[in-house]
Structures are given as C-alpha cells and as structure tokens.
Structure 1
Amino acid sequence: MASLERNKKILLDLVKQPGNNFCADCGAPEPDWASYTLGIFVCLNCSGIHRDLPAVSRVKSIRLDFWDDSLVEFMREKGNSAAKAIYEKDVPSFFYRPHQKDCVILKDQWIRAKYERREFTGDDNYFKQAYSSGLFESTLWKKGKDKKQFLKRTFVLSQKDFTLRYFVREDSKVPKAVISMKDLNAIFQPEKIGHAHGLQISYLQEERTRNLFVYHENGQIIVSWFNAIRATRLAYLQREHPTVHDIDLIPQISRSSLKEGYMEKTGPMQWEPFKKRWFTLSSMDRKLLYFKTPLDATEVGAVFIGTESHEYSVREGPCRSMRGSRWRCGITLQTPGRQFVFMCEQEQEQKEWLEAFRQIIAQPMTRQDYISKILLTVVRERERERKREGERERGYAVPSKD
C-alpha cells in the first residue's frame, strides 16, 4: 500500500512538471493518463486513441490504476519533452498539429503518424515527400450540387500550377472545376457534413465564396489530403511573399471560422420578414457570410466588418419577438452603409455572437483587409446594378430577399 501511494504521488508530481503538464498529443491541460510504453502523459480523449495502438502504446490512469515501481521509474526517465524530441523531430512546417478542440480524425491520424508510422523521426522522408510532391490524386466522395447524396469524384492537386481540379468521371479529360490556391481554404467539418471524415473546401469565385464538401472512408487518406493542400498552400504563399518568414505564413494556410450557426435576419428596411440563415464569421478576412443551409455550395450574401474607427459597432438588439421572427434574442450590427438586425434562439448564442463580432471590430485592419473590402464593395455594387437593370426591363421593382 505504501508503494501504491508513493508511486501515485510521484506520478502526480511528474505530470505537473513543464512539458508533462499538457497532453503530449493535443495540448490539453492537466493530463491524467499516461502511455507506459512511450513514456508520455496524455489526456483522456487521446488515451482512447492510444488504446487502439496496443503494438506501440499502452495506457494507464495515473490516479486510478496500479503502477509498478519499474513503470514509474520509466516515466521519470522519459516524459513528454523527451518523447517530442524523438517523435516530432522532423515535423514539416505545413503539417497541422491538432489542438484539444479539434475533431477526432485529426487527433487520431496525428497520433498514428507520430508513433505508429513514425513519420517525423527523420529516419524516412517518404511521407514528407508524399505530402509536398508535385501531384496528389485520389477519389473522394463529394456532395452533389442539388441533392443530398455524395458522389465519387476524382480530385487532382498540383503544386506545379497551384490548382485543385476535380473530374466528374474517371476518364474525363476536362475538369469540372479548376480552383486556384490563392483563396482556397480547407477545414474539417464532421458534424456539419455528417461524416467523421468530412472536409470542407472553400474558395472564391468572382468574390463569392463557394464550398465543396468531401470525405473519404479512410481516415489516413483524407488527413493526407488535408495536409497536402496545406503544403501546396504554403508553397503558393512562399512564392507570392518571398520575403516573409514561414512562421508568419503558417497561420494563413488554413483558417477556421470564429463562429458558425443559425440566426434569423431581416432585410435592409427592417420591415421584411425574418428568415433563418446559416452564418459563418471569419477573423482572417473579416467577413460574415450567410447561407440558406449549412451545406449550401454558394453564399447568399456577405458583410465586411471593419473597426470602430470605420463606423462599425455591435450591440444587443431588441430582446423581443419582432415581425416574422420566432426568436427573441437580438443583435444589431452597424456598418457605414446599413444596420443589420439578427435574432438568436438562445441568450447564450446571442452572447457568443456578440463576443465574436466585438473581437473582429477590435482587431486592426491590414492592407489586405482594405483590398478585400474594396473588392467586395465593387462586386456587390455590380450585382445591384445588374438587378436594377433587370427590374427596369421587366418594368417593376422586386423587393430584396436578403
């Protein structure tokens, strides 16, 4: 009993040491599990993935399980920092390192890449070369344009001309789409897509965001695709910004939304009925995009969000039901040209959206932000002019839907 209590105390002291006090794989604080074959401390979620790798990793709870003296001594000799020096010795700069809140497939493949395939020990450059080779090709399941089913499509990623192409048939010579790396973004969206390996690929087409939703049954293949896209995006950014260090380019490779979810919105006159829309807010390009559904291929509209000095502000809106709205928790977003009114279903959602808006408004604008704002303004004005011309030809005015 004395040995049991002593060993537990030693382990609890070890897990508080710098390096050990965060999960070796996802960075979650205060890990309370450990791999006694690798000598690392991990969180509960990552320990579950380690259990699926019995040939390379075996785990125990540092609080609940019995530890032999020899295993405790092994943990004392090893630890997260020592393991990182071995298993993360040569991680490519473009390779995505998952965080605590990332989806399971990213954590699973990161752990397997490190300990099972030993991709980053520096002993074998095969995997690094595969991610950043000139051509990356595979068949993926892609959501159809108008229907809910997913269809097999051939995707080709080229670092030679920095494009992503996909083909409707395997024998097709002409691609259905040629997508530039310039504005391409890829993020995992398993809950939205309804598949554990769901990947969302977004890009700009005539300054409108378009989305592709894809997956592959094999987790290693879809995560390899994700990292191959990141490798190609980094190569593109390096070409476009040759004097900028990689450490400053890495955050631009791919970006997650600051906030996503449903809200209701009304039109510019605020007497139009409220309509439910799916919104995504990105801090990278300062845009609030809205779609009819989460899996729409094209945005319905976009709102650029500047700073307070440019007359942008946000506040709690009317906390009551407005005409046509089923929800009660309001938000008012003020821009130089228009006041937007949104309604949230729950107060917690309202608070999260307000916090996200305020975070972007407080963020200084970059040179690229100014360019993005000008382009969006020009495109939207062209669209309004085309609409007005169409109305004049028909001889009547059509009220705005959004």
Structure 2
Amino acid sequence: MFDANNRGVLELSRRPGNDICADCSARDPEWASYNIGIFLCARCAEMHRGMGSHISKVKHIRHDRWEESQVQRLCEVGNSVAKAKYEKRVPPCYRIPNEMDCDALLEEWICAKYQREEFYRMERQPFMAGHTEGYLMKRGKEDPRYYPRKFVLSEANDTLKYYVDEKKDPKSSIKVSEINVSFAPPKMEKKSSFQISFVNSAGLTRHLFVYHDDPQTAVNWYNAIRCTKLHRLQIAYPTVSQAQLVNLLTKDFIHEGWLWKTGPRPTDAYRKRWFTLDQRKLMYHEEPLSAHPKNEVFLGHEGYAIRVGVPAGVRDQKYSFTLWTPERWFYFSAEAAVDRDAWIQAISSVIETPPTPQEVSMAARMVRKRGIFSSR
C-alpha cells in the first residue's frame, strides 16, 4: 500500500542532492538507508546490505513500508548533509568512484565512509603515510602464474620497488611520479587487481600485473600510489594548481581491445594485436597481458587525425580506419563497426585536445629514450 509515508519518502528522493545516489552519483535512486539518512541506487544498496544492518538499514522507496520516524530521519539528513559528514576529510589523491567504476573500488569507498568512517575521524588514513610495504601477487614476465612478491612504496625516494628475494637488491625500482596504474582492468579477470605501467631503464614500457585477495588492501595500495604521485608532482611543478595535478594521477585506460594492424607497405599483412590507449600513449601488444608492448605511439594534437577507411592502394579489410601522425600513417581494422567507431571516438577525444606541459614532457622522454617510433 502506497501511504503517506511512502509518498513522503518519494518526495524527499526528488529533492536536489537526493536525486542522485549518495555513493556513486547514479541518477534517480530507488533505495534509501534510513538510519544513515541517504538515498541509494540498487547497486550501492546491495553493498550497504553487505556491511550488515548494524551499519546500514536499507529499504526500497516504493515497495517497502515506511515508518514516520524513518521518513523523519531522511528529512533531517539527506545526501548533502551526510556527504558533508562522511566525506569531510577525503584527501584529494583518493579516487572517488562513480557508477561506471568496478565493484572493488565502489565497495571499499562505501565501507571506508560508513563502516570504518575513515573520512570522518581525525586519524590519518594508512595510504597517506608516505611509506607502504607488503606482499602482492605478481604475474610472471613470461610465466602466466602469479607469485607473492614484496613491494615497498617510498614517497621520500619517489620509488616503488619489488623483490624476488628480500635478501638481495630489488628486482625493479620504479619512479612513482612517472607511472600509471589501471585498477581492475577486465582482461585481468580479478576483482582486486591493478596494472602498473612505466618506462624501465632500457627505455621500454613495462607492465606489471598484480592483485591481492583482500579488496581493502588492494585499494589502499592503489590510493597510496596516487597520494605519493600527487606529492611528488607538487614538488616537481610547484606553480601548478592541485586540481590540475590531481588530473595527472593514475587513470584507467581510455580503451582496450583487439585490432588488426598492417605495416606501411601495401604488401604488408594485417596482424592481430591487443591495443591499449593509455591517455596519450597508444600501445599494441602480442597478448592482453604482455609484459611489454611491441610499440607505442604518442598522440599529440597538431598533425594528428583519424578517419574511417584506408587510402587507395592500401589493402582494405572490413571496418578499417587510418591514424595519421607526423611520423607515419597507421592502418587498422576492427572486428565490427561498433568496435571501429569506439576506437575512433576514443582516439579523437585525445588528439582533439592540446597536450598539457606535463604530457609534452612525457613525449620528449619517450622520443629521447626510444627514438623515432618503429613500424613493428
């Protein structure tokens, strides 16, 4: 029965601030936590249930019966007031998830807010300590199995190191300010995983694939890397605003998937490659979890373009498109029109925007370390 209390809850859900999910900002939430006093989407409501009713008591706005005291609680609090409380001390380096993000990030965000109250209490979050160490499961460079490896993150030294044998020197020492981390890429098929990409001492991009069975540990590592990177960028670029530097922190890849690529000669055959668009860096690999790309191309602004089809004289496979760069033209073919259009849209969004000074600096390092891009 849809009584006065139900109508009251429905009216409250339409007020500004309550008309989006309190945790992921999805529009038109249909659930509410009446003890916390917030409105939620179905996905976040399920995660609230997972914390237990001693933390969050959830009801459907339309289908459940509401008591007057519960409606009054929602009226007194609401999403805006709750956010001011539970998100009061969210550090700028913390990645706040949205409705498009993976379950692990969103679930840990919800637990951090309401179960552990990390952003409400004065205690400093562990990922902001400036030093993190522990074990992560790392995929072998040539071996597809995962092995426990000790990782040490140091803000003071701007390094992320990992060890195969703790009694020996680190297997690798990575400069944190120059790495990117993509959280839980679908190709890894693991909930609490991330891919670390960096340029190694040989001038080659290297990918590390790691995970942890505990989502909280994985998310803390991820945000610790983000916090370290922000602080190091603030040292390197003291005149750049914090908001601009936050935009340079770790980001998930813009787009990934299989494409066929051919060389510059008309007789070159098409070869299937796994492509990754990592902001302004387009890489292609033998396999999705390859440790190194076969090649990478920096996507600038002037002199770059992308179009459907290939020029006359180039073998045309179905769903082809061409990428123009100052160094050469690249010819690709997708599995379907929707895939081709998605790649064109993703690459266009990059090359239509002028690069930032930090991105120009990255391009200069790539060219200096690797020279003119090869045609592999």
**TM bucket by the smaller chain?**
over 0.9
Structure 1 window deviating more from structure 2 (349-358 vs 4-13): it is 4-13
Post-superposition shift, 1:383? Answer: 7.9
1:234 maps to 2:230: yes
Counterpart contact for 2:32–2:45, Cα < 8 Å? yes
Output aligned runs, 1:242-281, within 5 Å: 242-281=238-277
For normalisation by structure 1, the TM-score amounts to 0.88
Aligned amino acid, residue 277 of structure 1: R
**Aligned position for 1:352:** 342
**Aligned position for 2:144:** 148
**C-alpha offsets along residues 300-337 of structure 1, whole Å, 9 cap, x if unaligned?**
11122222xx3221111159xx86x9x62111111222
Post-superposition shift, 1:368? Answer: 3.4
Aligned amino acid, residue 83 of structure 2: K
Aligned amino acid, residue 175 of structure 2: S
Describe the SS at the equivalent of 1:141: strand
Distance 1:157 1:357, change over 3 A: same
**C-alpha offsets along residues 231-284 of structure 1, whole Å, 9 cap, x if unaligned?**
11111111111222222211112122221111110112142111111111133x
**C-alpha offsets along residues 153-176 of structure 1, whole Å, 9 cap, x if unaligned?**
00000112010000013x323100
Post-superposition shift, 1:52? Answer: 0.8
Structure 1 window deviating more from structure 2 (186-195 vs 85-94): it is 186-195
Identity of aligned residues (%): 40
**Aligned position for 2:70:** 71
Counterpart contact for 1:199–1:213, Cα < 8 Å? yes
1:195 maps to 2:190: yes
| Structure having the higher Rg | 1
Describe the SS at the equivalent of 1:262: strand
Aligned amino acid, residue 162 of structure 1: D
Describe the SS at the equivalent of 1:182: helix
Structure 1, unaligned stretches of length 5 or more?
385-399
Distance 1:369 1:110, change over 3 A: closer
**C-alpha offsets along residues 128-186 of structure 1, whole Å, 9 cap, x if unaligned?**
2x2222421111100011111100000000112010000013x3231000001121112
1:306 maps to 2:300: yes
1:19 maps to 2:14: no
**Aligned position for 1:131:** 127
Distance 1:271 1:8, change over 3 A: farther
Aligned amino acid, residue 12 of structure 1: L
Aligned amino acid, residue 229 of structure 1: I
Counterpart contact for 1:318–1:329, Cα < 8 Å? no
For normalisation by structure 2, the TM-score amounts to 0.93
CA–CA separation in structure 1 for the residues paired with 2:357 and 2:81: 42
Post-superposition shift, 1:378? Answer: 4.0
Aligned amino acid, residue 108 of structure 2: Q
Counterpart contact for 1:20–1:80, Cα < 8 Å? yes
**Aligned position for 1:296:** 290
Describe the SS at the equivalent of 2:321: strand
**Aligned position for 2:81:** 82
Post-superposition shift, 1:382? Answer: 6.8
Post-superposition shift, 1:221? Answer: 0.8
**Aligned position for 2:174:** 179
Distance 1:230 1:370, change over 3 A: closer
Aligned amino acid, residue 57 of structure 2: R
1:315 maps to 2:298: no
CA–CA separation in structure 2 for the residues paired with 1:190 and 1:257: 8
Counterpart contact for 2:182–2:253, Cα < 8 Å? no
Structure 2, unaligned stretches of length 5 or more?
none
**C-alpha offsets along residues 334-377 of structure 1, whole Å, 9 cap, x if unaligned?**
12221111000011111111111211121023333444334434
Aligned amino acid, residue 6 of structure 1: A
**Aligned position for 1:340:** 330
Aligned residues: 372
Describe the SS at the equivalent of 1:72: helix
Aligned amino acid, residue 88 of structure 1: E
CA–CA separation in structure 2 for the residues paired with 1:137 and 1:370: 32
CA–CA separation in structure 2 for the residues paired with 1:294 and 1:68: 53
Q: Pick from 206, 209, 215: which aligns with 1:213?
A: 209
Aligned amino acid, residue 292 of structure 1: E
**Aligned position for 2:102:** 103
CA–CA separation in structure 2 for the residues paired with 1:134 and 1:360: 32
Structure 1 window deviating more from structure 2 (202-211 vs 346-355): it is 202-211
**Aligned position for 1:390:** none
